[in-house]
Amino acid sequence: MQVAIGSDHGGIKLKNELIAYFEEQGIAYHDFGTYTNDSVDYPDFARAVAEAVASGKFERGVLCCGTGIGVSIAANKIPGIRAALCHDTFSARMATEHNMANIITLGERVIGPGLARDIVGAWLNAKFAGGRHARRLEKIAALEREIAAGEKR
């Protein structure tokens, strides 16, 4: 598995903690930045990670900012992305089992590094349940296609 990871300045410490976790676990990753504490705009990094995942170059993505909210909103603008904001392991597991979330977002100002590791581990190790959940994901994909085509209900 290859994971794309990125953050703004408000999530850089948490991003770096998760990079250390990936290295400990032998998980391949690419860091899309930011690389300093200088103020940057989170949509730029959310877009880079989301486009990398949507293109198929990476199976999953992790985004961090102060709350996880901004990067989640931005990433979900990219067709094919299902970014889930998770601050607990149950939500992270369900994000995979029920929603096949391909990006997880986390808030550095909301959770600590130990919990973040547990959340990402739960998300990465969960398996998609399929069944009725697959039908629902197809409806989301159809909605994206309708919007892209300019169709209205």
- In this structure, how many other beta carbons lie within 10 angstroms of the beta carbon of residue 29? 20
The whole domain housing 46 covers: 2-128
Q: Is 89:67 a contact under the CB 8 Å cutoff?
A: no
User: What pLDDT score was predicted for residue 9?
Assistant: 98
Query: Is residue 153 pLDDT above 80, yes or no?
Result: no
pLDDT tens for residues 45-61? 999 999 999 999 999 99
Segment (H or E) for 47: helix 42-54
Q: Is 19:5 a contact under the CB 8 Å cutoff?
A: yes
CA angle 127, 87, 91 (to 5 degrees): 35
37 compared with 153, residue with greater pLDDT: 37
User: What pLDDT score was predicted for residue 151?
Assistant: 77
Clarify whether 65 is annotated catalytic: yes
How far is CA 102 from its chain centroid? 6
Question: How far is it, in rounded angstroms, from Cα 146 to Cα 139?
Answer: 10
152 compared with 119, residue with greater pLDDT: 119
Query: Is residue 152 pLDDT above 80, yes or no?
Result: no
Please report, for the domain that includes residue 24, its CATH number. Answer: 3.40.1400.10
User: What pLDDT score was predicted for residue 97?
Assistant: 97
User: Of the residues 64, 86, 87, 98, which is catalytic?
Assistant: 98
pLDDT tens for residues 73-127? 999 999 999 999 999 999 999 999 999 999 999 999 999 999 999 999 999 999 9
Clarify whether 30 is annotated catalytic: no
Residues of the chain above pLDDT 90, percent:
94
Tokens 């159809």 locate to 142
Q: Which long-range contacts (CB under 8 A, 24 or more apart) does 138-143 make?
A: 140/82, 141/80
What is the DSSP track for 9-36? Answer: GGGHHHHHHHHHHHHHHT-EEEE----S
Look at the chain and report how many structural domains it folds into: 1
Lowest mean pLDDT among 19-23, 69-73, 117-121, 140-144: 140-144
Tokens 């391949």 locate to 28
Query: Is residue 49 domain-resident?
Result: yes
Mean pLDDT of the chain: 96
User: What pLDDT score was predicted for residue 13?
Assistant: 98
Query: Is residue 153 domain-resident?
Result: no
Query: Is residue 145 domain-resident?
Result: no
Query: Is residue 97 domain-resident?
Result: yes
Report the DSSP beta bridge partners of residue 64. Answer: 7, 106
**Residue ranges for the binding site?**
8-9, 66-70, 99, 109, 132, 136
Query: Is residue 147 domain-resident?
Result: no
**Residue ranges for the binding site for D-ribulose 5-phosphate?**
8-9, 66-70, 99, 109, 132, 136
